[in-house]
């Protein structure tokens, strides 16, 4: 009888962010061109309440806001959608000119792209209320095609109250102590999304014993990818999903 092999899900972190500017439609298209299972993104609300795909709380690192508006450390939460759409989200990345004029991705456009390609959208909320997200997912009928993750576990509880069928991931870092596991048990999350530096075989086993999935971020090193896969991790988020897929292609005998 053939042994069933299970491999971790491959999730592209902020899109294929080693090949294209993070959290942009170009990065998502680049990830979708690979055989990834899902695409992770971060979103925040603009000043006028529109969920937009962006990681940092301020604009300097990944836009041209400073050179365009001559204002340092401008908060994304203080800019309207119209203002944010004036910025370039790609010229900071890679060879000169390759991604110039990369537009802002709204959460809605990102979901259309990722879910339209039949991949899992792994949506990390950085700011914004649960009602807006739940209403968008419901309107677009995407409730079961996304995973919602957050470091703010109260937000996950809010999501669960609005839609008990959402798949929720409790993000965190540091030692996975019994106390922290008990706190996670009091949330509606059935998946633990933990910093890869704090995970070992025993920690993953304990998560599984609780009946949960163990996901991890952000893993770009081949040896670490192999190790976590051998320990039975359920999903790995990587800036370099092509490497992850190549590593998995070379591994046989993963745990069931």
Please give the Cα distance from 191 to 6 (Å, whole number).
17
Q: Which of 124, 158, 220, 240 binds Ca ion (CB under 5 A)?
A: 124
Single out the residue of 42, 88, 102, 234 in contact with Ca ion (rule: CB under 5 A). 42
Shortest gap between Cβ of 112 and Ca ion (angstroms)? 20
Interaction of residue 22 with ligand G3P, rule CB under 6 A: no
Is residue 237 near ligand G3P by the rule CB under 6 A?
A: yes
Q: Beta partners for 52? A: 44, 106
- The window from 63-71, 119-127, 134-142, 203-211 that contacts Ca ion (CB under 5 A) reads 119-127
Tally Cβ neighbours within 10 Å of residue 191: 20
Give the 3-state secondary structure of 115-165. HHCCCEEEEEECCCCHHHHHHHHHHCCCCCCEEEEECCHHHHHHHHHHCCC
* Sole residue written with tokens 């795909």: 53
Nearer to Ca ion, 42 or 102 (CB): 42
| Binding flag, residue 23, ligand G3P (CB under 6 A) | no
Residue 208 near which of ligand G3P, Ca ion, none (CB within 5-8 Å, type-dependent) = none
Q: Which of 123, 217, 220, 229 binds ligand G3P (CB under 6 A)?
A: 217
List the interface residues with ligand G3P, window 100-119 (CB under 6 A).
none
> Binds 86, which of Ca ion, ligand G3P, none (CB < 5 to 8 A, cut-off by type)?
none
- Between CA 231 and CA 203 the distance in angstroms is 10
The C-alpha angle with vertex 209 and arms to 236 and 219, in degrees rounded to 5, equals 15
Of residues 86 and 188, the one with the C-beta less far from ligand G3P: 188
Residue 148 · residue 164 · CB < 8 Å: no
Q: Is 74 within 8 Å of 85 (Cβ atoms)?
A: no
Options 88, 102, 124, 158; binder of ligand G3P; rule CB under 6 A: 124
Report the SS3 class of residue 170: strand
* Site of interaction with ligand G3P (CB under 6 A): 13, 40, 42, 55, 124, 171, 193, 217-218, 237
* Site of interaction with Ca ion (CB under 5 A): 42, 124
């Amino acid at each position: 009888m053939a042994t069933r092999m299970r491999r971790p899900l491959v999730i592209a972190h902020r899109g294929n962010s080693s090949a294209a500017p993070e959290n942009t439609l170009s990065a998502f298209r680049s990830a979708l061109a690979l055989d990834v299972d899902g695409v992770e993104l971060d979103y925040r609300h603009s000043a006028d309440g529109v969920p937009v795909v962006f990681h940092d709380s301020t604009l300097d690192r990944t836009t041209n806001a400073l050179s365009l508006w001559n204002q340092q450390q401008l908060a994304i939460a203080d800019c309207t959608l119209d203002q944010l759409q004036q910025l370039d989200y790609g010229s900071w990345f890679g060879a000169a000119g390759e991604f110039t004029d990369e537009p802002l991705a709204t959460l809605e456009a990102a979901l259309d792209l990722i879910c339209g390609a039949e991949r899992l959208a792994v949506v990390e909320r950085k700011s914004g209320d649960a009602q807006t997200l739940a209403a968008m997912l419901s309107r677009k009928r995407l409730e079961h095609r996304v995973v919602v993750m957050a470091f703010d576990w109260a937000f996950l509880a809010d999501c669960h109250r609005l839609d008990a069928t959402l798949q929720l991931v409790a993000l965190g870092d540091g030692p996975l102590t019994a106390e922290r596991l008990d706190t996670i048990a009091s949330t509606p999350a059935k998946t633990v999304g933990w910093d890869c530096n704090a995970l070992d075989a025993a920690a993953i086993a304990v998560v599984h014993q609780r009946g949960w999935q163990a996901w991890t971020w952000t893993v770009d090193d081949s040896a670490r990818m192999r190790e976590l896969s051998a320990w039975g991790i359920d999903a790995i988020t990587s800036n370099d999903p092509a490497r992850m897929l190549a590593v998995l292609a070379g591994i046989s005998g993963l745990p069931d």
